[in-house]
A = this chain, B = another copy of it.
């Protein structure tokens, strides 16, 4: 209430983007809550607890078999994807680079703490009521945050930091529940999170964007485009996502052959996506020029789509086929679907996450279901089949396939449902979001350096005008 109050008072124009009270309030209250909850619930797991040294003597494990050495390099790659990958991928806008990389940084750091708790409560709550965390928990927290960063892509430039934090708070809560249902109740497999992360995250973001539809967004169209350097910055994000995607899909896969196979499949799928993306981009532009939007985004679709099946026996050529299709579908999505969705479905998707995460995510879920259903002992080996799918009781590949499909539906439902719900909350007039004519502009939330020309086209334009005026005036004077 106090928050609302203060806003009313501060209001000096229809849209007030001042978050001086609300943002610090949310941050401090939130962080304090985190400290208390961590104090009550979170402890180190066996591999990160000093008792490991005593235990090791009993179990005569070597230090090398500490989970840390199986997962840490992959964790760091995932970590880079979350902060540099997602952050820089969104810097393509002319004047929203601070917001892209800065808010991405904030919600990721903010979200991963809540993710550790939520995932812990649902996943690894011990008999003593404590959550034991280790390197795998950190990876899962990063994964969880990824779904919210994907959602951010849909509303990029149109919301305030406070809205983003609310969005993240609910998003991670929903994610944890959805993940619990898919992984622990339905027993579906989703190592790379095609369904759990990408499908959910994308539909969550798209539904929110639909709820927050801005009819007069074209008033900001002058800023909804890139400049030369901002496109190069975005390529940093693209490349780090692209390069480390094999680590993303293999990070929590089974030790040994599981991680190994997941990395290979992802590597191949991504490679073929790049080739078909370039083909489509060139084919559908006049003069066959390439469009940076496609190169920055569609080239990643393959990684999304092999997420679920990455640790299965998708086979190298299977990975190439998945990538092949995704490159085409995703690029066509940018060319035809995004404008269509904005015009007819009232969904304004700033980064085109529908083409990069939603469609490939769904494809990934389907590919996963098919690959699982087609699994045989001859291909996987007796033990291999059991361990790859963690079969318990009378599970069979066909059944597994059905469960995978069910999981996909769950992900979509949670995404759409949750998005609409959260969208309603975000429509309240208290969050300090920008007016339709001042979207995609860092000016409202960041102290900007003064004398940069190349990023102030409007101002510059006026300058030109002024000069022209001067010239004309003294030109006219001569007539007299």
Flag whether A167 is at the interface (Cβ < 8 A). Answer: no
With A50-B385, A260-B134 as contacts: A35 and B65 at CB distance below 8 Å: no
**Contacts A106-B274, A290-B446 given; does A83 touch B232 at CB 8 Å:** no
Is A68 a contact partner of B256 (Cβ separation < 8 A)? yes
A317 contacts B39, C-beta separation under 8 Å: yes
Q: B98 to A53, Cβ gap below 8 A? A: no
* Stretch in A190-198, A278-286, A354-362, A420-428 with 4+ CB within 8 Å of B: A278-286
| B-side contacts of A69, CB under 8 Å | 64, 69-70
A324 to B227, CA, bound (A): 37
Inter-chain contact A275/B30, CB cutoff 8 Å: yes
Interface set, chain A 349-379, CB cutoff 8 A to B: 379
B interface footprint on A147-167 (CB within 8 Å = 1, 0 otherwise): 000000000000001000000
Shortest distance between the CB of A359 and any CB in chain B (Å): 19
Residues of B within 8 A of A280 (CB): 24
What are the interface flags for A300-343 relative to B under an 8 Å C-beta threshold, 1 for contact and 0 otherwise?
00000000000001011100110010000000000000000000
Spot the interface stretch: A71-79, A203-211, A393-401, A406-414.
A71-79
User: Do the beta carbons of B233 and A232 come within 8 Å of each other?
Assistant: yes
Contact A288 B232 (CB under 8 A): no
Given contacts A231-B98, A239-B105, A292-B98, contact A272 B449 (CB under 8 A): no
Selected from B50, B112, B232, B315, the residue in CB contact (under 8 A) with A101 is: B232
CB contact between A447 and one of B235, B289, B471 (< 8 Å): that residue: B289
CB pair A275–B106 under 8 Å, yes or no, is yes
Q: Given A52-B384, A271-B109, are A257 and B77 also a contact pair (CB < 8 Å)?
A: no
Report the 7 A-B pairs with minimum CB-CB distance, sorted nearest first: A20-B288, A50-B384, A109-B274, A27-B279, A48-B260, A39-B317, A52-B257
